[in-house]
Amino acid sequence: MLMKRVFSGIQPTGKIHLGNYLGAVKNWVDSQGEFENIFCIVNSHAITTTQNPQELREKTYELARVLIACGIDPKKSCLFIQSEIDEHAALAWILDCNISMGEMSRMTQFKDKSQKNPKNINVGLFNYPALMAADILLYNADLVPVGEDQKQHLELTRNVAQKFNRDFGECFKVPEALIPKVGARVMGLDDPTSKMSKSANGANHAIFLMDTPDEILKKFKKATTDSEACIRFDENRAGVYNLLCIYETLSKKTRESIEGEFVGRGYGDLKKAVAEIVIETLRPMQEKYQLLKNEQGYIEKILEEGRERAREIAQKTYNQAKTFIGLV
């Protein structure tokens, strides 16, 4: 039986943090025996905000090293750089011409990012969902891992695929969302009402994958909790709930057993326990990352092989879309 194909992408901006790992990368690694995985470093998406060209190149390769250090196996998964396959931008143009202004104007992420960066509201930011749709549809993905903030973009992808298939012929597979039950949304340690983010300014907001044990412990000690004494899973108590969800994801214990573990104990014990399990989880990744820093040729070879595997699929899909729409 053929495995279902999964496509996912991650931007090479900022430093990858615990939320990225638990919400996406860990699930990518864990699913490598279950799905045919195609993972893309979406550097073209990154330039919707102003980037230093040299830093963007460096961060692109740095992210590749991080993903491999986290457990992405190039023998099991296809890993490549988005900008090295021209069909992404080419298909995005075709999709742009088949998405209404009304549909695109309803994308809440554009509104949010425009408010945060009012001096950089560009056409690329507005059309971002079309490029995301092209990323997915090029590879005939069955499933796309998405967080809550990306569900709207995936729905647009589904809509444009269905519309294109109806109007021009069966070209695209219509993908389904793959949403992990646990760890899909890790919140900031300093503000547990907002999602952990690369761009947040707070020094204690995020745990970065390359943070030292001392930095991790310090950040968790300062994590926001509340004035209640009982440690239990309660979504209305955002800070404690966030810490417990992190612990649940990494320990693989049941909620009942976790609550039992902390009966009669305080928030200091909870924070220490979460910090320790995060430190031990990140330790082997950090060690492997340090080794890979001296293996640039190895990283380039993996990305080159991934590019060729991905390009074969992308060219076939794009040429079919061109033919259907009358461009050849």
> Of the residues 163, 195, 221, 253, which is catalytic?
195
Q: Per the structure, how many domains does the chain have? A: 2
Shared domain for 160 and 258, answered yes or no, is: no
> Of the residues 198, 221, 272, 288, which is catalytic?
198
Do the domain assignments include residue 9? yes
- Whichever domain contains 257, its CATH number is 1.10.240.10
Structure tokens at 108: 């809440």
Shared domain for 68 and 132, answered yes or no, is: yes
> Of the residues 26, 59, 113, 219, which is catalytic?
113
Distances in Å between the Cα of 72 and the Cα atoms of 67, 77, 111, 125 are 6, 7, 33, 29
- Whichever domain contains 84, its CATH number is 3.40.50.620
Using a CB cutoff of 8 Å and minimum separation of 24, what contacts does 46-55 make? 46/11, 46/12, 46/13, 47/124, 48/113, 48/122, 48/124, 48/125, 48/128, 49/13, 49/117, 49/120, 49/125, 50/120, 51/13
Shared domain for 220 and 246, answered yes or no, is: yes
Q: Please indicate whether residue 222 is annotated as part of the active site.
A: no
Q: Please indicate whether residue 198 is annotated as part of the active site.
A: yes
Shared domain for 103 and 45, answered yes or no, is: yes
Shared domain for 60 and 172, answered yes or no, is: yes
- Containing domain of residue 65, as a range? 5-184+296-325
CA distance 140 to 225: 44
Shared domain for 174 and 145, answered yes or no, is: yes
Shared domain for 82 and 114, answered yes or no, is: yes
pLDDT of residue 297: 95
Which run of H or of E encompasses 54? helix 53-70
Model confidence pTM above 0.85:
yes
pLDDT of residue 318: 98
Mind listing the pLDDT tens digit of every residue in the chain (328 residues)? 689 999 999 999 888 999 999 988 998 999 999 999 999 999 999 998 889 999 999 999 999 999 999 999 999 999 999 999 999 999 999 999 999 998 988 887 777 777 777 777 888 888 999 999 999 999 999 999 887 667 888 999 999 999 999 999 999 999 999 876 655 679 999 999 999 988 777 889 999 999 999 999 999 999 999 999 899 999 999 999 999 999 999 999 999 999 999 999 999 999 999 999 999 999 999 999 999 999 999 999 999 999 999 999 999 999 999 999 999 8
User: Buried b vs exposed e over 82-101: b needs ≥16 C-beta within 10 Å?
Assistant: bbbbebbebbbebbbebbee
**CB–CB of 89/131 below 8 Å?**
yes
